[in-house]
Amino acid sequence: MRVCNNHKGFSLIELSIVLVIIGLLVGLGSSMIGPMTSYVKVRETRDMEDANLQSVISWASSNNMLPHASTDAADVSGFRYVAKSYQDAWNQDFIYLYDGSLSPATTPTKDTICGRRATLLSLALDATTTKKNIAFALFSRADNDTLQSKKNSDNSTPASGAVTVADTIKIYTTNGKNPDIVRWVTLDELRSKIGCQGAPLKIVNNELPSGKAASTGYSATLTADGGVPPYKWCVERPATSPFVTTNSITLSAPDSCNDPTGSSWNSYPLAINNETLSATPGSYKLNVYVRDTADGTGTSTKKCDAADLDYNCAKKTFVLTVSPQQ
């Protein structure tokens, strides 16, 4: 009996093609492992940062201050203790930056955060966009060996700690690796989340009453609202004062309100009572500043209109019109 064998094997060419295809698939899969691993770690780190932000906010709500950048794991007032995870997915410590006045060495009060209107920390999100009044921020190096973000002041790399001098951190990067992973909370967001009450500090008046030259009995009252009363006032006169005498208020020279501890600041409701106006008709600009009791250390030499203001203050410029006597 003749037995027919119809079983055929692969030829060498077919085997070669199969092996090439398998090799390509293996190579493609291997090349995807790195990017996929990096993507997963980036996502994990972002989740960690978001959880840490909530932890810091919750702690701040209970303690009226931000945690400081302590490296002691047992320090209950330090970020390492407060955070859900003080390291990112690459096992590198997060860099924690915060406005130092929001984490004072002395006993904090509700106004430590709620009484503030601005911070010293800003973030440059790209070449044209800057986010101001940052309460605190977290940075991860991602898969880089060093932090890519730089201080605007000296182009140095920021380290964890309090920001005590106004600065902007440039967080964008142009290299081919993952940029730094950054999360932040603004002062307004922090105030809202911890339940701060009350309106921002402001001067209520919009104008001063006009007067006549060489007349007596000129009076006006300026009031403030919001913030934490009682208030302190400072009034800067122009180069030529509109008043012959100043019986009821202290009219300070231009730029004399820079020092919040100086004698130009007065603790009274700002009332101009029975003053004698100048004999020269014209319009005179008065810069009026008001501060409340939630100010900072008292050592700042910045005006209310400074971009990097570190105490609670408001400013308004008034025009006093003096018409000729008839």
Is 223 found in the same domain as 138?
no
Asked if pLDDT for residue 4 goes beyond 50, the answer is yes
The CATH number linked to 208 is 2.60.40.10
What's the domain range around 50? 35-193
Is 278 found in the same domain as 146?
no
Lowest mean pLDDT among 24-28, 236-240, 298-302: 298-302
Q: What is the mean pLDDT of residues 110-118?
A: 81
Is 248 found in the same domain as 157?
no
Is 220 found in the same domain as 143?
no
How do residues 283-296 score in pLDDT, each as one tens digit? 988 888 888 765 54
**pLDDT for the residue 299:** 47
1 vs 312, more confident: 312
Is 28 strand, coil or helix? Answer: helix
Quote the tokens at residue 244: 């012959």
159 vs 111, more confident: 159
Give the rounded percent of residues in the chain with a pLDDT score beyond 70: 80
Nearest to 139 by CA among 176, 113, 170: 170
**pLDDT for the residue 142:** 87
**pLDDT for the residue 206:** 93
**pLDDT for the residue 98:** 97
Q: How far apart are CA 244 and CA 254, in angstroms?
A: 17
pLDDT band at 45 (very low <50, low <70, confident <90, very high): very high
Is 122 found in the same domain as 49?
yes
Contact 90/142 with Cβ under 8 angstroms? yes
Is 179 found in the same domain as 219?
no
- Number of continuous H segments (helices) and E segments (strands) in the chain: 4, 16
In whole numbers, what is the pLDDT of the chain averaged over residues? 82
pLDDT band at 28 (very low <50, low <70, confident <90, very high): low
Domain boundary among 170, 193, 216: 193
State phi, psi for 171 to the nearest 5 degrees: -105, -5
The CA-atom distances, in angstroms, between 151 and each of 157, 163, 171, 195 are: 6, 11, 9, 32
H helices of 64-201, in order, are: 79-82, 111-114, 187-193
Q: How far apart are CA 31 and CA 241, in angstroms?
A: 76
Q: Is 8 within a domain? A: no
Split into its structural domains, the chain has a count of 2
Asked if pLDDT for residue 158 goes beyond 80, the answer is yes
